[in-house]
Amino acid sequence: MSDFIAVVLFIGVIAYALFGGADYGAGFWDLTAGGAARGRPVRELINVSISPVWEANHTWLIFCFVTIWTAFPQAFTAMTTTLYIPLGLAALGIVARGSGFAFRHALAQGRGELISGVAFACSSVLTPFFFGTVAGGIASGRVPSAGHGDALSSWLNPTSVLGGVLAVTVCPYLAAVFLTGQAQRRADTALEKAFRRRAFGAGIGAGLVALVGVFVLRADSPRLFHQLSTVGAPLLVVSGLCGLAALLLLRKGSPPVVRTLAAIAITTVVGGWGVAEYPYLLGTHLTIQQAAAPTATLWVLIAVSFVAVVLIVPSLLLLYSLQLRRKLG
């Protein structure tokens, strides 16, 4: 049963990587859109595309937090007492980002809009970096079961930096893929082309980081590398193929196909991480079973996941379909 909850947790992580990731990535393109006048069309597209969905997208993070602290409390505090620096910075980044975005949306052109826009864009790039380092610290087994691991080397290490850089490149890639579709729906050919180009560039970048990552992991996280190259290998192969196919189709293909391929590529990478860790939650010192809460609590979480499937998933689909059909805005 604890395995089932671990799967649920990972579904949350994957959802956050996809939806939250696309949100963060939009902030990256916002930051690099150029001056106030030149960047306006890009920023406007980002505004209308993510305004209605960003809060729902970020609820996946809350979902991950509550699931982990309820189901695996010991692992949760082990992480928070070790990785408190990147987690704290990520929390602050989320505040700056969310408020900045909401304020900018409400303000007309002017200084206020500019300042809140900068806050939004900068924190959109920094926050996923910190989350990436957290993932790297956990994946490379640097979080001791009892917590209170090294405050710096737990997240300033090759695997963590790889995680951070990968997050910072994958997010813009995802966002560019999503925004291509949004631009196409608005029949804005110039923007559509621009985002196809951006997606291509970011995709190449993410692919290169992933390739370098293979060597980093082999040197820095032998167990993770071993697991990824054995049990995790099928998932990574699927990821690589989808990523490559998406890249080839980017210039001409229809956005929904590219979007699906890109989403599968990300899902399988994150899933691969999960498979590689199994049956451990932390390094090779805390298993899922050992960390699990009493059965009754796990049943509550199963019930919550069930309700989420029947209630939240249809609601999310409604939101996204309204958004895609341009009924919101």
Partner 1 sequence: MVLSALLTAADPPQLLPAREQMAFTLGFHIILVPFGLAFTFMMLVCHYRALRRGDQQALVLAQRWSKVAAVLFAVGAVSGTVLTFELGLLWPGLMGKYGPAFGFPFAVEGLFFFLEAIFVAIYIYGWKRLPPWPHFFTGVVVTLAGVGGTASVIAANSWMNQPAGIAVRNGRVVGVIPSRVFFNGAFWWEMVHMLLAAYIVAGFMVAGVYAWGLLKGRRDHYHRLGFAVPFTVAAIAMPLQLLVGDTIARQVYDREPAKFSAIELLPTTGDHVPETLGGIFVDGKVRYGIQLPEVASILAGFTPSTTIKGFGAIPAAVRPTDSVVSIVHLAFDVMVATASLLLLLALWFACLWWRRREVPTNRWFLRSSAVSGLVALVSLESGWVVTEVGRQPWTVVGLLLTENAVATQGNLWPLFATVLVIYACVAVGALYVLRTLRRRWSEEGAEAAVVPYGPRAAPATNGHPLGGDDA
Query: Distances from the Cα of 203 to the Cαs of 76, 227, 232, in angstroms?
Result: 33, 25, 22
Under rule CB under 8 A, residue 97 binds partner 1? yes
Nearer to partner 1, 59 or 287 (CB): 59
Prior bond to 279 cis, omega within 30? yes
Q: Which segment (80-88, 171-179, 183-191, 228-236) binds partner 1 by CB under 8 A? A: 80-88
Please tell me the distance from the alpha carbon of residue 139 to that of residue 281, in angstroms, as a whole number.
9
Task: Give the tokens for residue 218.
Answer: 């082999």
Q: What is the dihedral of CA 178, 184, 185, 188, to 10 degrees?
A: 120
With beta carbons less than 8 A apart as the criterion, state whether 166 and 239 touch.
no
Q: Which of 204, 241, 319, 324 binds partner 1 (CB under 8 A)?
A: 319
Under rule CB under 8 A, residue 309 binds partner 1? no
Under rule CB under 8 A, residue 116 binds partner 1? yes
Under rule CB under 8 A, residue 99 binds partner 1? yes
**Per-residue contact track with partner 1, 148 to 177, x per CB under 8 A?**
x--x--------------------------
Query: Distances from the Cα of 243 to the Cαs of 149, 157, 168, in angstroms?
Result: 35, 26, 16
With beta carbons less than 8 A apart as the criterion, state whether 49 and 178 touch.
yes
Under rule CB under 8 A, residue 103 binds partner 1? yes
Q: Which of 44, 47, 84, 193 binds partner 1 (CB under 8 A)?
A: 84
Nearer to partner 1, 115 or 245 (CB): 115
Under rule CB under 8 A, residue 147 binds partner 1? yes
Return the residue matching tokens 């060597």. 215
Pairing of strands 286-287, 280-282: antiparallel
Q: Which of residues 194-253 bind partner 1 (CB under 8 A)?
A: none
Under rule CB under 8 A, residue 133 binds partner 1? no
Q: Which of 41, 44, 47, 102 binds partner 1 (CB under 8 A)?
A: 102
Q: Which of 22, 61, 170, 261 binds partner 1 (CB under 8 A)?
A: 61
